[in-house]
């Protein structure tokens, strides 16, 4: 029986192990760099509340907002995307250019989402500057967004997108495209599923504070658990309940939102 088991599971060739480890080192290094940038910026950000209204765009500086968004996506999403990147790399015989195109296009879609997030945040700030009602109630809107993020965790769309993220082999088999152009298309497709799975989890970082490292770490841990941990779906549903409860409390008491207190 031992011999049969050994024959059925031949050892992984050393070259494959080295290539896999190299990909992990690169992804880990990029994620670590993202966390370093976030921590460095957070150390220079004083306070979280804004008595005169919401500051959702880091002082209205779109380059800084988008730079921090890219750092955030790199720090938070690459660890969760590592199994997909590893499988794609192995299928592409570890072609570094194709892997780069796949990963870059994946992050590029998150960058596009960051542009949308900035524009919506700027719209809220502009409205708050013109309307005292918005200034007084944007914290409640943040609480409502937390509730919405929790409810979304239970939706069929969330389940469809999460299944694609949790099963790299199924994704590769159903979305395979040859060539480096195919790498871009696959990276965009994977990014679309990932955005569909997690967009509201990242949207809540706007009312919670872009430089709120505790909130960022909590969301990153949740995303990783949902996508990689065996019982990640259950973790996500527990987090959904917590978001709904916390959001409802914030709607009633907006000062409990970090960016309002």
**pLDDT score recorded for residue 11:** 66
Asked if 149 and 200 touch (Cβ cutoff 8 Å), the reply is: yes
> How many CA atoms lie less than 13 Å away from 16 in the CB half-sphere?
12
Asked if 65 and 118 touch (Cβ cutoff 8 Å), the reply is: yes
**pLDDT score recorded for residue 258:** 86
**pLDDT score recorded for residue 46:** 53
> How many CA atoms lie less than 13 Å away from 180 in the CB half-sphere?
9
pTM above 0.85, yes or no: yes
Residues of the chain with pLDDT under 50: 1-7, 47-52
**pLDDT score recorded for residue 4:** 43
Spatial separation of the C-alpha atoms in residues 151 and 199, rounded to whole Å: 13
**pLDDT score recorded for residue 124:** 82
**pLDDT score recorded for residue 54:** 63
**pLDDT score recorded for residue 12:** 64
Q: What are phi and psi of 227, to 5 degrees?
A: -90, -25
């Amino acid at each position: 029986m031992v011999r049969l088991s050994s024959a059925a599971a031949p050892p992984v060739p050393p070259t494959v192990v080295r290539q896999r480890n190299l990909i992990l080192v690169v992804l880990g290094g990029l994620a670590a760099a993202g966390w370093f940038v976030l921590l460095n910026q957070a150390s220079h950000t004083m306070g979280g509340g804004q008595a005169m209204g919401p500051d959702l765009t880091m002082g209205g500086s779109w380059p800084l907002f988008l730079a921090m968004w890219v750092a955030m996506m790199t720090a938070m999403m690459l660890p969760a995307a590592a199994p997909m990147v590893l499988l794609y790399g192995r299928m592409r015989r570890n072609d570094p250019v194709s892997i780069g195109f796949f990963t870059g296009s994946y992050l590029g879609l998150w960058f596009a989402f960051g542009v949308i997030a900035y524009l919506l945040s700027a719209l809220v700030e502009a409205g708050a500057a013109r309307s005292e009602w918005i200034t007084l109630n944007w914290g409640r809107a943040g609480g409502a967004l937390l509730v919405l993020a929790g409810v979304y965790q239970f939706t069929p769309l969330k389940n469809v997108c999460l299944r694609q993220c949790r099963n790299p082999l199924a994704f590769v088999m159903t979305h395979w495209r040859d060539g480096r152009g195919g790498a871009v298309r696959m990276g965009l497709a994977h990014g679309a599923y990932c955005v569909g799975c997690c967009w509201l989890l990242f949207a809540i970082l706007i009312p919670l504070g872009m430089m709120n490292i505790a909130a960022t770490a909590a969301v990153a841990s949740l995303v990783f658990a949902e996508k990689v941990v065996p019982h990640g779906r259950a973790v996500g549903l527990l987090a959904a309940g917590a978001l709904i409860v916390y959001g409802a409390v914030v709607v009633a008491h907006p000062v409990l939102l970090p960016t309002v207190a």
